[in-house]
Amino acid sequence: MSTVIDITLLTFLAVTALAIIRTRNLFAAVMLAGIYSLVSAGLFTALDAVDVAFTEAAVGAGISTVLFLGTLALVGWEEEKPAHQPILPLVVVVLTGGALVWGTSDLPPFGVATNPVHESPIAERYIEESGHEIGIPNIVTSVLASYRGYDTMGEATVIFTALVGVLLLLAHGPHPRRVWEGDRWSTKWDDPQLQDEDDETLEGDGPFESDSPEGGSANG
């Protein structure tokens, strides 16, 4: 049964990937990428890696899709036709993919009890001792937050660094300032166009700006 599920999910993955390559509509490509992540999450669940599946579903299918859509709102919805024949990229991709598939022959077989990961003393320690050393049932959390807490701090730092990088590249976000004008606070926008619109009416013009209490502001 699990073989059938695996083959079905992997087929979906391959079909989705081919569809992403074929389509020139970037909106469709982004949606397909979200589906790809969701199918990957299903595959991880079938492999009993529920924590990874959870992250893939939340980050890959959720936030990434929204960020892609935000990018599309800036760059347009249609991909231009490539100026040259994609022969060289195809060769590079086929060679790299072939090397990766060849490399998997050196990996230990899936789910065999004598694999190095099952025989290492560290894994035994985690499974046998974490119950009373850390005192929580989820070994993944024990390893992530306690045994390997230093690594996880590095991960959190990497995520923070990513934000710094994005902000350096896309320097100005919607950063209104609250300014005290003698008797009341008012909202100042750096962009005069936004400032001109009275902030009480909440009228917007950006890709995600479609609101106004009176109605009528079209998306644009």
Partner 1 sequence: MDDQIILRLAAKTLIPFILVFALYVQFHGDYGPGGGFQAGVIFAAGFVLYALVFGLRRTVQVMPPWVTLACGAAGVLLYAGVGVVTMALGSEYLNYNVLAHDPEHGQHYGILLVELGVLITVFGVMLGMFYAFAGRRSLDG
What's the start-to-end Cα distance of the chain, in Å? 48
- Of 86, 98, 108, 174, the one binding partner 1 (CB under 8 A) is 174
By beta-carbon proximity to partner 1, the closer residue of 51 and 79 is 51
Q: Per rule CB under 8 A, is residue 51 in the interface with partner 1?
A: yes
Nearest-angstrom CA–CA distance, 55 and 204? 33
Q: Which residue type does 127 have?
A: I
Residues 64-83 that bind partner 1 (CB under 8 A): 66-67, 70-71, 73-74
- Which one-letter DSSP state was computed for residue 186? E
By beta-carbon proximity to partner 1, the closer residue of 119 and 211 is 211
Nearest-angstrom CA–CA distance, 32 and 13? 10
Nearest-angstrom CA–CA distance, 79 and 71? 13
By beta-carbon proximity to partner 1, the closer residue of 17 and 146 is 146
Which pairing describes strands 185-188 and 177-180: parallel, antiparallel, or unpaired? antiparallel
Q: Which helix (H) or strand (E) holds 160?
A: helix 149-169
By beta-carbon proximity to partner 1, the closer residue of 70 and 86 is 70
Phi, psi (rounded to 5 degrees) for 93:
-65, -45
- Closest to 30 in 3D by CA, of 63, 81, 65: 65
**Is the separation of the CB atoms in 9 and 39 below 8 Å?**
yes
By beta-carbon proximity to partner 1, the closer residue of 115 and 209 is 209
Residues 176-205 that bind partner 1 (CB under 8 A): 176, 190-191, 193-194, 199, 202, 204-205
Could you give the string, one character per residue 126-165, with x where binding to partner 1 holds by CB under 8 A and - elsewhere?
A: ------xxxxxxx-xxx-xxx--xx-xx-xxx-xx-xx--
**Is the separation of the CB atoms in 20 and 29 below 8 Å?**
yes
By beta-carbon proximity to partner 1, the closer residue of 76 and 82 is 76
Q: How far is the CB of 97 from partner 1 (least distance, A)?
A: 29
Interface positions with partner 1 (CB under 8 A): 50-51, 53-55, 58-59, 62-63, 66-67, 70-71, 73-74, 132-138, 140-142, 144-146, 149-150, 152-153, 155-157, 159-160, 162-163, 166-167, 170, 172-176, 190-191, 193-194, 199, 202, 204-212, 215-217, 219
